[in-house]
């Protein structure tokens, strides 16, 4: 009888010990070692204790989203308004051979191309002027962030203007309707707010 009672008590003790282990053996709430691990930046630091990174999901931002992530102040409407002004200024300056103005607006490679045409025109004794019939139309074609800091925005321009040229053979008037893709670039890490024209392509009207 005593042996049976001992067996029963031993069984009950085992059950109680198991229940105690089940509770005490679990980590409940913050443990003292958590603070040390977080201070050391160890693996026990909880992800929720870190600031949320918008790119933590592994998705890379592209296009306008990438530009706005780098420069939250970027506004498409304001940019296109500035691009139209730049377009008119560049076209007029090119026609008039105004190199100082062009140098502030064009990338070196584009400036070199424009400058060669201006020089040839001067050698031939020709002059030109441009009159816009109305403000050009500007539509966003493409936008992206290159090398993590250079914003490149391509604008599709539709313009109608009158080109007047004078040369040894006399004066000529040419009414033109053009469609072009202009790509502007700006280093968003720079304090310089100006955009530079880096490429010009023909487009379908």
User: Where along the chain do its domains lie?
Assistant: 2-49, 63-202
Residue by residue, DSSP assigns 178-192 as: EEEEEEEEEETTSS-
Q: Please list the alpha-helical segments (H only) found in the chain.
A: 2-24, 32-40, 63-70, 76-96, 99-103, 108-123
Token pair 């720079």 is at which residue? 190
- Model pLDDT, residue 59: 56
Is domain 63-202 annotated with CATH 3.10.450.240? yes
- Model pLDDT, residue 149: 93
Q: Cα–Cα distance between 152 and 182 in angstroms, integer?
A: 10
Closest alpha carbon to 86 in 164, 178, 182:
182
Return averaged pLDDT per consecutive 10 residues of the chain, 205 residues in all.
43 40 37 43 38 44 93 96 97 97 97 97 96 96 94 98 94 96 96 95 87
């Amino acid at each position: 009888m005593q042996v049976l009672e001992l067996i029963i008590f031993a069984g009950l003790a085992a059950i109680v010990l198991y229940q105690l282990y089940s509770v005490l053996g679990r980590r409940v709430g913050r443990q003292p070692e958590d603070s040390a691990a977080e201070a050391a930046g160890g693996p026990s630091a909880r992800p929720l204790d870190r600031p949320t990174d918008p790119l933590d999901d592994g998705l890379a931002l592209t296009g306008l989203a990438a530009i706005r992530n780098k420069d939250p102040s970027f506004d498409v409407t304001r940019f296109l308004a500035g691009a139209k002004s730049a377009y008119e200024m560049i076209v007029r300056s090119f026609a008039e051979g105004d190199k100082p103005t062009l140098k502030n607006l064009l990338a070196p490679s584009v400036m070199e191309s424009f400058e060669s045409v201006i020089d040839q025109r001067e050698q031939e004794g020709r002059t030109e002027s441009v009159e816009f019939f109305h403000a050009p139309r500007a539509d966003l074609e493409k936008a992206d962030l290159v090398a993590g800091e250079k914003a490149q925005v391509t604008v599709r321009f539709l313009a109608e203007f009158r080109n007047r040229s004078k040369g040894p053979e006399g004066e000529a008037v040419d009414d033109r309707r053009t469609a072009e893709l202009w790509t502007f670039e700006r280093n968003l890490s720079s304090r310089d707010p100006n955009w530079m024209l880096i490429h010009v392509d023909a487009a379908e009207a």
